[in-house]
Amino acid sequence: MKRTRIQPNIDGYPAEFQALLRSSEVWDSSSSPEARVLFLDRDGGYYLKSALKGTLAREADMTRYFHTKGLASEVLSYISAEKDWLLTARVTGEDCTHAAYLADPKRLCDTTAELLRNLHSLDFSDCPVQNRNETYYETAERNYRAGHYDTSLFPDHWGYRSAEEAWQVIEAGRHLMKTDALLHGDYCLPNVMLDCWRFSGFIDLGNGGAGDRHIDLFWGAWTLNFNLKTEQYTERFFDAYGRDAVDREKLKLVAAFEVFG
């Protein structure tokens, strides 16, 4: 996880966080333009995330929920004012893009597959987000209507020749999406934390909820391809997860959703 030491203008932060910021070494740990993430190096560490107003509410809810299951850090504060702020305790260890984990790709593949199958085996009847499939479709439809279509992140065999082709696949197959698992929602190597190969927690849970397991399976296979720069671990990942629960046609359906963001 890349970090850059900074000296933020503390007056621009909510009063609740200013004392903590003043007493900490502050590092920028952001990985996307949609949110800023600061690592506060004190008392074991904290992460302070900020984004547009209302955009971190689901992440706060899902992180709290995963924390009750021992799968995520504690939410220490969530504030929604002129923008959203989310303060969480640091998860021990390093994410799965750390060099020590990438250096053993077979073990990394098997570990992430097994962790995902364990996550998907949990009871989700009390999950605060029960409609992940619905919001997944709504996002794809909104972006399709707006002309947002991007296949650049996906391998050729999961791509589509046009937005219309992908949308037709969604319309024909959306009824196949089941609510059969508790989802991370963005199951990629940077969002899985290990401490010397021992699982320590999930992060970035804003897309989580109860939905179709193939959303996580798609991203679990994709992240190995992307971070290891090879597709040779795709089949091993599905074997380690359990072929009994993997539908390759459903993965193609998820790919159609994902080209719309």
- State the pLDDT at residue 122: 98
Q: Check residues 119 and 2 and name the one with the higher pLDDT.
A: 119
Residue 230 pLDDT exceeds 80: yes
Could you give the CA distance from residue 190 to residue 84 in angstroms, rounded to a whole number? 22
3-state DSSP assignment of residue 201:
strand
Active site residue 212: no
What global pTM score does this model have? 0.94
Mean pLDDT value of segment 100-107 = 98
Domains of the chain: 4-89 (3.30.200.20), 94-258 (3.90.1200.10)
Could you give the CA distance from residue 192 to residue 134 in angstroms, rounded to a whole number? 25
- 91 secondary structure, DSSP code: P
Mean pLDDT value of segment 112-126 = 98
The radius of gyration computed from the CA coordinates of the chain, to the nearest angstrom, equals: 19
Mean pLDDT value of segment 12-36 = 92
- State the pLDDT at residue 34: 87
Tens of pLDDT, residues 152-180: 777 665 678 889 999 999 999 999 999 99
**Contact criterion met (CB below 8 Å) for 219 and 212:** no
- State the pLDDT at residue 260: 93
- The mean of the pLDDT values for the chain is 95
* Token output for 116: 């995902």
Contact residues for 178 (Cβ-Cβ < 8 A; gap 6+) = 133, 212
- State the pLDDT at residue 127: 98
Instruction: Report in angstroms the alpha-carbon separations of 143 from 136, 137, 147, 155, 222.
Output: 11, 10, 6, 21, 21
Query: In the chain, what are the helix, strand and coil shares in percent, each to the nearest 5?
Result: 45, 20, 35
Which of 95, 186, 204, 212 is flagged as catalytic?
186
- State the pLDDT at residue 154: 73
* Burial readout 95-129 (b: 16 or more C-beta within 10 A, e: otherwise): bbbbeebeeebeebbbbbbebbbebbeeebeebeb
